[in-house]
Amino acid sequence: MTNTLHCGPARRGRPKTRDAAGLRQSIIDSACQAFTELGFAKTSTAEIARRAKISKRTLYEIFPDKKQLFAAVIGEHYYLLLDLPRPEGERCTPEAALFRIFRLDISEQEHQTREALLNLMIRESVLFPELAEYLYQTKAIRSRELLRQWLYHQHLQGGLTVEDIDVCTGMLMDIVFGALLPRRRDQDADARPLRIAHIKQRIRITLAGMSALGASPSALSPE
């Protein structure tokens, strides 16, 4: 069985009255369900409006096109993939911070939602490359940029020694998301904890390698 996105409000309760924020949230929730069940191509704006119990005119007033709505759905759940920026004054080791940034210790339900989100993003990006480009252009997806900024500031503060910030950013992204990409459902109850343990160990090895290489200031830039 395919995991499905939990398409309710991600962090706060739904507004009691159908104000502008509540209406927008209802549309995003309805679109989330439709995109997950039907896919981007087969999801019509009429279907989203029907699920949200609004007119198409009202839908278009808030989301002029379907791509914009898809980006809103991804943005609504993107915190499950990357927890950045970090809180001001956070005190922990780079290792512990990266475990938090990549949300490696989330609950089973959050894990299933994240897997469904990755499935949706990968499936639709393969079918519609222009949709993936739109997500990057609108910054609905900006994990690489945020992680790059975090590494840069860690280097400035002395928490990490980074030789080449672009290489280190890409390596960490590949290490984590390469292992998190859905391939098949874990049949063994111990499979996910083992996979997470392996990701953590790869991060530790990467951090040790980064420290051993030393710094080259010319390769560092905040942007």
| Per-10-residue mean pLDDT, the chain, length 223 | 58 56 96 94 97 97 96 93 92 95 94 90 93 92 94 91 91 92 63 92 93 56 57
Distance CA 221, CA 152 (A): 7
* Cβ-contact 207, 94 below 8 angstroms: yes
In a domain, 114, yes or no: yes
Task: Determine the Cα–Cα distance for residues 98 and 96; give it in Å rounded to an integer.
Answer: 5
Q: Who's near 59: CB < 8 A, 6+ residues apart?
A: 27, 45, 48, 49, 52
Enter the tokens of residue 176.
Answer: 């984590």
Residue 191: the pLDDT is 83
What pLDDT sits at residue 15? 43
Asked if residue 102 is part of any domain, the answer here is: yes
| Number of CB atoms found within 10 A of residue 154's CB | 17
Residue 18 forms part of a structural domain: no
Cα 130 to Cα 67, 125, 136, distances in angstroms: 10, 8, 10
Q: How far apart are CA 223 and CA 215, in angstroms?
A: 17
pLDDT of residue 30: 97
The whole-number pLDDT of residue 3 equals 60
Q: Does the residue 90 lie in any domain?
A: yes
167 occurs within a structural domain: yes
Question: Domain span at residue 116?
Answer: 82-126+140-182+189-212
Domain-located, residue 93: yes
pLDDT of residue 2: 52
pLDDT at 173: 95
pLDDT of residue 94: 95
Q: Is residue 104 part of a domain?
A: yes
Of 146, 165, 169, 145, nearest to 155 by C-alpha is 165
Domain count, the chain: 1
Q: Cis ω on the peptide bond leading into residue 222 (within 30° of 0)?
A: no
39 within a domain of the structure (yes/no):
no
pLDDT of residue 89: 86
